[in-house]
Structure 1
Amino acid sequence: MSEKELGKSEMSSVESFCQNALQSTIAPLTIGSVKARITHAAWKLGWSISRTKDAWYADPRISIDGAELTRVEEVSGLTYAKRELQSLDDLIAKAEALLDGPEADFHRPFVDAFRAFIGALNRS
């Protein structure tokens, strides 16, 4: 992978997180049109309309700095940081403990589904 592609992929996860937070939590569909949602998100974040629009569409030319990411986390209630990883690991460990019991065959499909669900949460 080239250095340019590596930099782009590192930024894209933050951009993707911000885009998802903007569209699903900060300015959900219930607000109305996309224009109204972007305006609402800009107001809530204290950003300019153009900055919010760039984040809304995850423009690869932008770079979300730490303060902006923190603001998105505060307003949305979502977290991007690795502190969530420990709680997810704890949940997975508890689910795996079900596999050691006498009813392991019964619990295995549940644990597999739970792992998939937790894995999807971890990709935010």
Structure 2
Amino acid sequence: MSELVWAQTQLHEAVAPSALSSHIGNRIRHAARVLKWKPSRTKDIWYGDERVSIRPRELREIEEYTGVRYGHAELTEIDQLISRADAILACAGEGAGSPVLAALRALAGAAHRP
């Protein structure tokens, strides 16, 4: 997950969730206000404009407001995949190759996720 995608997700889900307003413009203005960003900058990140580069200061501001640390989601996902692979390998399968193939399928599926 790129920094831009992470920031966009945090804006949508934590900074200005849909429960706040049904209008996107109101949610973008709210996010700009609480993060003390320019509305145009907030809008670019909200819509995930690929020309935008997230500054470290902006990541810290989102982290401080939401309490979620960038990279924590990836770490959690990797830990879950490792646990799942360990469980598959520990399980006594029908044949010796079955757990290994199942673990490889699980890891390959994770590698192809966006």
Short-chain TM bin: 0.5 to 0.7
Q: Distance in 2 between matches of 1:13 and 1:86?
A: 14
Instruction: Render the CA deviation track for 1:77-123: whole Å, top value 9, x for unaligned.
Output: 33333x55444433333222222233x46xx7xx87xx58xx49x86
The one of 57, 72, 79 equivalent to 2:62 is: 72
Q: Name 1:21's counterpart in structure 2.
A: 10
More helix by share: 1
RMSD of equivalent CA atoms: 3.2
Structure 1 stretches of at least 4 aligned residues deviating more than 4 Å after TM superposition: 83-87
State the AA in 2 paired with 1:67: R
The structure number with the bigger radius of gyration is 2
- After superposition, the Cα gap between the structure-2 partners of 1:30 and 1:64, relative to the gap in structure 1 and judged at 3 Å, is same
Give the distance between the partners of 1:85 and 1:23, measured in 2 at CA: 18
Distance 1:61 1:97 in 2: 40
Q: Normalising by the residue count of structure 1, what TM-score does the alignment of the two structures yield? A: 0.62
In structure 2, which of residues 60, 75, 78 is the aligned counterpart of residue 89 of structure 1?
78
Match of 1:6 in 2: none
3-state SS of paired residue (2:51): coil
Q: Where in structure 2 are the equivalents of 1:7-46 lying within 5 Å? A: 13-32=2-21, 33-46=23-36
TM-score by length of 2: 0.66
Q: Look up the SS of the partner of 1:31 in the other structure.
A: coil
Query: Structure 1: which amino acid aligns with 2:3?
Result: V
Classify the secondary structure of the residue corresponding to 1:30. Answer: coil
Q: Tell me the equivalent position of 2:48.
A: 58
Task: Indicate how the Cα distance of structure 1 residues 17 and 84 shifts in structure 2: closer, same or farther if over 3 A, else same.
Answer: closer
